[in-house]
Amino acid sequence: MAGVEEFLWPVRVYYEDTDGGGVVYHANYLKFMERARTEWLRSLGFEQTELRTRDGILFVVHDMQIQFRKPARFNDELVVKSRLLKVGRSLLQFEQVILHGDVCMTEAVVDVVCIDAERFRPVSMPAAIKQAISSSLPKIQPIT
């Protein structure tokens, strides 16, 4: 956590991530972003395995606007910088930027929705998660 508002997660580019163009395959940036969101949630004290078995919920990506600005390459050490833009009843909206040094390689706005793990329908996210978010991110106003 670089500050109260940003969460940083490092990603090394391996061969598995690249394609025949010699650069990171575009869909794989979405994996990097998801790793960072998983680790952000873990940093707040929440394991998705427990959220699923105990609370019956999943967090899933519902909507994404993504710009692929520069190509990252094999062996690059990237950093995913994540920041919450909005918190709703079942919504977490993130801005996520993938950096190589100071250079932005890819950036996205990602809407993640809390759903019922059986019926795949939006549900309110657990109060404990909202509280943890409020504590860690004082400037984000939950929209309740």
DSSP state for residue 9 in the 8-state scheme: E
Q: Which is nearer to a copy of itself, 68 or 89 (CB)?
A: 68
Give the type of residue at 80.
Answer: V
Applying CB under 8 A, among 4, 45, 104, 120 the residue interacting with a copy of itself is 120
**Chain-centre distance for alpha carbon 142:** 18
What DSSP line would sit under 62-110, residue for residue? EEEEEEE-S--BTT-EEEEEEEEEEE-SSEEEEEEEEEETTEEEEEEEE
Q: Which is nearer to a copy of itself, 70 or 138 (CB)?
A: 70
Q: Which of residues 1-20 bind a copy of itself (CB under 8 A)?
A: 12, 14-16, 18-20
19 has catalytic annotation: yes
- Asked if 144 interacts with a copy of itself (CB under 8 A), we say no
Applying CB under 8 A, among 48, 83, 126, 132 the residue interacting with a copy of itself is 48
